[in-house]
Amino acid sequence: MTTGEVKSFDKPDEVRPFEGKGHADLLHLGGKAVARGTFEPGWRWSANVKPIVKTELCEFSHLGYVVSGRMRVTMKDGTELEMSEGEAAAIPPGHDAEVVGDEPVVFLDFGEIDEYALRK
């Protein structure tokens, strides 16, 4: 890449709907993707993304920032992480996740997001 790029989530390059309760807006920049995930109350990875990707757990790493809401991540070994508005998180592959409470979660993801929630 020899020039910079500026894009807006107001006009995403791609929108990937979940099986109900939210979607991911993607921007493709410099050969990579950045996502803004919107997860509605009641969203759970195992219910709303697992049917799309057909893996037992989420097998992508995430590096991001919580714009709003609260989310709980449960790792394969049972360890739980909870993140909320204003926090950054690094989440390794092998997890489930769910929205906590009645507020939607908005999460900016700079991790391995290129194929997240991509229909197989």
Spatial separation of the C-alpha atoms in residues 45 and 98, rounded to whole Å: 6
DSSP 1-19: --S-----TTS-SEEEE-S
Q: Tell me how far apart the alpha carbons of residues 44 and 39 are, in angstroms, rounded to a whole number.
A: 8
Q: Structural domain boundaries of the chain?
A: 15-109
The predicted-structure confidence for 91-106, as pLDDT tens digits, reads as follows 999 999 999 999 999 9
Amino acid identity of residue 24, one-letter, is A
Query: Does the domain made of 15-109 have the CATH classification 2.30.30.140?
Result: no
Summarised one tens digit per residue, pLDDT across range 55-108 is: 999 999 999 999 999 999 999 999 999 999 999 999 999 999 999 999 999 999
